[in-house]
Amino acid sequence: MAVIITEQIEKIYNPDKVPVHALRGVDLEIDEGEFTAIVGPSGSGKTTLLNIIGGLDTPTKGKVYIAGTDISTLSGNGMINFRKDHIGFIFQSYNLIPVLTARENVEFIMMLQKKSKKERDQRANELLDAVGLHDKKNKRPMELSGGQQQRVAVARALASKPSFILADEPTANLDSQSTADLLDMMAELNREEGMTFVFSTHDQRVIDRARRVITLIDGKIAKDEVR
Amino acid sequence: MMILKVAWRNIWRSRVRSLVVIGAVLIGVWSFIAMMALSLGMTGGYVDNAIRYQTSHIQIHHPEFNEDKELAFMIEDDLTEDLEAKSEIVSTAYRSIANGMIRSSRSARGVAIKGVIPEQEERLSQISEKIVEGTYFQEDKNNQIIVSRELAEKLKVRLRKKVVIQFQDLNKEIVASSFRIVGMFSTGNTMADLASVFVLQDDLNELIGKDNALHEIAMIIKDVEQLENVQQDLKSTYPDLLIENYREIAPDVQLYESQIYVSLSILLAIFMLALIFGIINTMLMAVLERTRELGMLMAIGMNRIRVFFMIVMETLMLGIIGAPLGMLIGWLTVKYLNRTGIDLSGFAKGIERFGMDTVIYPSLDTEMYLQLMVSVLITALLASVYPAIKAIRLRPMEAIRKL
Ligand SMILES: Nc1ncnc2c1ncn2[C@@H]1O[C@H](COP(=O)(O)OP(=O)(O)OP(=O)(O)O)[C@@H](O)[C@H]1O
Ligand SMILES: [Mg+2]
């Protein structure tokens, strides 16, 4: 079943002044359980596409369906609430709330979902164990390495039980060992829990781990290969 | 609640910046309390003095006496029994009053000559406690007079010297008699002190030519809260007499009381305004430097209501944590100063003339502390709106773009 469907998405930045055609008609379908990389040269529109799929930005033309919902029908707060329940995000950096510990960061999103304290505790513990941070639960982001912070971000993204997880260059700030560890972990979650991952990257080693690679060039899908 | 936890911890991210605001609130609250207590201490002293030495709580006169000050306008009814029966009235003094001149060999001045019964005045006006030279009225002596030290200075007379008082009697004939100064008083209110002299009622009434002459009944009541009730009660019993409370007798007291409140309110408004700007400034900085983080929070699903709430809570906490401490220090300051008093004798030359004590005892009702707390709360609440709106106006995508 498709969790993400895009129909002829176009995105033009600054349509009035100096228009930038970031996306020129993107048709895409991503099914449950995929482990998909979006690649392409700098400026090809990867971030723009992920932001539109994630409901952080709106397309100039075209439609986006997430888990069957046309997200253009959602208003400001409605969109935020929709993201909370359906989409997990992992950003390049600044993923975490600096004043909260790893455990509290994971709990926070479940608090937004009004989950009980008991459920939050239990799931935060499980997830942090799963991402290999059982001894770092009470550390604040500042006290964690970049790789560890990204693991917390993964745990946080999983905590809300989203339909899929979007990650825009999640390894851009990591060394090669942390990159490999993070990818191992994401791949394992994908294999064992069936969690859908869509991530953008420049890193060939990351691209090699993907099972489907979509290449964007100049705002268009140039290649779409499944391995 | 988790958002409260986040808000609280956020305050401490820029420790110094937050401490500046907290310190400003603390010092503001503290100094405002001290100021308020000082002003109210001054007013309180002024009003107390006016009541004690001049107006009492309630005075009864012939309705025309106040305007003309003529001897003929006497209180004819006998109220003694009736007033004694009223339990709200603590003490009463009956006076005859002649307006005339006091003369020494060197000088003369116009004064109100009050014929009093010493024991009554002792209980009511406490002039007896303000004798600074000589004694209060002594027994079995005729023609004693008590004047203020200031008046004695003007007349250039000393204790135990003779002065002459003179006025028109009931038949418009000038009468005069000499009196010996047995004591001098000073209440602190120079203007009032210069205006009156005290003699025995029998001596004065003999000069007036009517042995039961009565012009003024002054009384002190048990509970000032009951002032209006007691006054109303008397008014209905004696519709033909003029019955006034101390505010009516000395309108300056009331003016003074209300003026202090007006200036304190203005001061509070200025303080609140400064506080609002300080808090807004700090919170705007806090919001702007957290643009990405707020963008991230909205991206992962923290909706605008919650973001708004978080910023409001943060501002409230920042704005009010200084207040209780400021109040505590303020309270201790007031308590301490109330014990020791503030001696203003350095400026006393000016102040005394207006009837204020030279030593001020600041004091403040609990109610004032509550009012101040509420003011600070409202201030912080007002200050929180703008930064919170700024925060929810952020577009998450744009905020995150800045990564
Ligand atoms: N907010 C914006 N306003 C104007 N132009 C923009 C904006 N964001 C992106 N663009 C332009 O849109 C195009 C696509 O940008 P996008 O960030 O999606 O590329 P990308 O593939 O993510 O690049 P990178 O690999 O460098 O992250 C670029 O030409 C970029 O300059
Ligand atoms: Mg990008």
- State how far the Cα of B40 lies from the Cα of B257, in Å rounded to an integer: 8
pLDDT score recorded for residue B19? 94
Q: In what order do the strands lie in the sheet with A197-200?
A: A87-90, A164-168, A197-200, A35-39, A212-217, A220-226
Average pLDDT, chain B: 89
Predicted confidence (pLDDT) per residue in A30-84, tens digit = 999 999 999 999 999 999 999 999 999 999 999 999 999 999 999 888 999 999 9
What percent of chain A is predicted at pLDDT more than 90? 89
Residues of B with CB under 8 A from a CB of A: 2-3, 5-6, 9-10, 13, 292-293, 296-306, 396-397, 400, 403
Task: For chain A, give every domain's residue range.
Answer: 34-44+74-226
Tell me: pLDDT of B187 over 50.
yes
Locate the chain A residue with the closest alpha carbon to B393.
A76
Kindly write down the DSSP assignment for every residue of B55-66, as one continuous string: I-SEEEE-TTHH
ipTM of the complex: 0.93
Cβ within 8 Å, pair B2-A54: no
User: Amino acid letter at B324?
Assistant: P
CA distances (Å), A195 to each of A61, A87, A146, in order?
A: 29, 11, 23
Structure tokens at B254: 């009331």
Q: What is the mean pLDDT of residues B17-37?
A: 92
Alpha helix (H) residue ranges in B198-301: 201-208, 227-237, 246-249, 251-288, 291-300
Cβ atoms of residues B391 and B384 within 8 Å: no
CA distances (Å), B222 to each of B44, B57, B88, B197, B219, in order?
A: 17, 10, 5, 27, 10
CATH superfamily for A34-44+74-226 is P-loop containing nucleotide triphosphate hydrolases (3.40.50.300)
State whether the beta carbon of A48 lies less than 6 angstroms from ligand 1: yes
Report helix angle B291-300 to A76-86, nearest 10.
Answer: 70
- State how far the Cα of B316 lies from the Cα of B10, in Å rounded to an integer: 12
Nearest CB partner across the interface for A83, out of B3, B299, B305: B299
Locate the chain B residue with the closest alpha carbon to A169.
B403
Cβ atoms of residues B358 and A18 within 8 Å: no
Quick one: pLDDT band at residue B403, thresholds 50, 70, 90?
Answer: very low
Cβ within 8 Å, pair B299-A81: no
Locate the chain A residue with the closest alpha carbon to B8.
A99
User: Which residues lie below 8 Å from residue B349, measured CB to CB, with a gap of 6+?
Assistant: none
Strand partners, A13: A20
pLDDT score recorded for residue B66? 81
The terminus-to-terminus CA distance of chain A in angstroms comes to 19
Query: What number of C-beta contacts closer than 8 Å exist between A and B?
Result: 73
Predicted confidence (pLDDT) per residue in A197-211, tens digit = 999 999 999 999 999
Quick one: pLDDT band at residue B351, thresholds 50, 70, 90?
Answer: low
Quick one: pLDDT band at residue B307, thresholds 50, 70, 90?
Answer: very high
Tell me: pLDDT of B398 over 80.
no
pLDDT score recorded for residue B353? 59
Nearest CB partner across the interface for A93, out of B10, B304, B403: B403
Q: DSSP 3-state assignment of A94? A: coil
State whether the beta carbon of A22 lies less than 6 angstroms from ligand 1: yes
Can you tell me which residue has the tokens 């000589």? B134
Neighbours of A44 (CB within 10 A): 21
- Do β-strands B108-116 and B196-200 pair in parallel, antiparallel, or remain unpaired? parallel
The protein residue with its alpha carbon nearest to ligand 1, atom 29, reads A43
Contacts of A92 in chain B (CB under 8 A): 403
Nearest CB partner across the interface for A97, out of B6, B303, B403: B6
Quick one: pLDDT band at residue B144, thresholds 50, 70, 90?
Answer: very high
Tell me: pLDDT of B402 over 60.
no
Cβ atoms of residues B39 and B346 within 8 Å: no
User: With an 8 Å Cβ cutoff, is A136 touching chain B?
Assistant: no
Q: Which ligand is nearest to the CA of A49?
A: 1
pTM of the shown model: 0.79
pLDDT score recorded for residue B366? 85
User: Which residues lie below 8 Å from residue A76, measured CB to CB, with a gap of 6+?
Assistant: B304
Average pLDDT, chain A: 93
Can you tell me which residue has the tokens 């304190």? B264
Contacts of B5 in chain A (CB under 8 A): 100, 104
Cβ atoms of residues B247 and B51 within 8 Å: no
- State how far the Cα of B336 lies from the Cα of B339, in Å rounded to an integer: 5
Predicted confidence (pLDDT) per residue in B47-96, tens digit = 888 888 888 999 999 998 888 788 889 998 888 888 888 889 999 999 99
State whether the beta carbon of A46 lies less than 6 angstroms from ligand 1: yes
pLDDT score recorded for residue B282? 93
pLDDT score recorded for residue B294? 92
Cβ atoms of residues A218 and A41 within 8 Å: no
Tell me: pLDDT of A99 over 90.
yes
Cα B163 from chain centroid (whole Å): 37
- Do β-strands A212-217 and B174-185 pair in parallel, antiparallel, or remain unpaired? unpaired
Give the closest residue to B54 by CA, choosing from B153, B199, B188. B188
The protein residue with its alpha carbon nearest to ligand 1, atom 16, reads A45
Tell me: pLDDT of B356 over 70.
no
Nearest-atom index, ligand 1, CA of A41: 25
Of A47-51, A111-115, B76-80, B200-204, which gets the smallest average pLDDT? Answer: B76-80
CA distances (Å), A165 to each of A39, B73, B106, in order?
A: 17, 99, 106
Tell me: pLDDT of B188 over 80.
no
Kindly write down the DSSP assignment for every residue of B342-354, as one continuous string: EE-GGGHHHHHHT
Give the closest residue to A216 by CA, choosing from A22, A61, A65. A22
Of A223-227, B76-80, B158-162, B396-400, which gets the smallest average pLDDT? Answer: B396-400
The protein residue with its alpha carbon nearest to ligand 1, atom 5, reads A13
User: With an 8 Å Cβ cutoff, is A213 touching chain B?
Assistant: no
Locate the chain B residue with the closest alpha carbon to A112.
B302
User: Amino acid letter at A223?
Assistant: K
Pocket test of ligand 1: the residue of A12, A47, A169, A200 to mutate, having most ligand atoms within 8 Å of its CB, is: A47
pLDDT score recorded for residue B68? 77
- State how far the Cα of B86 lies from the Cα of B306, in Å rounded to an integer: 64
- State how far the Cα of B71 lies from the Cα of B214, in Å rounded to an integer: 9
Residue count (chain B): 403
What percent of chain B is predicted at pLDDT more than 90? 59
Q: Between residues B184 and B55, which one has the greater pLDDT? A: B184
Structure tokens at A94: 């600044």
Residue count (chain A): 227
Nearest CB partner across the interface for B301, out of A84, A100, A107: A84
State whether the beta carbon of A47 lies less than 6 angstroms from ligand 1: yes
Contacts of A54 in chain B (CB under 8 A): 299
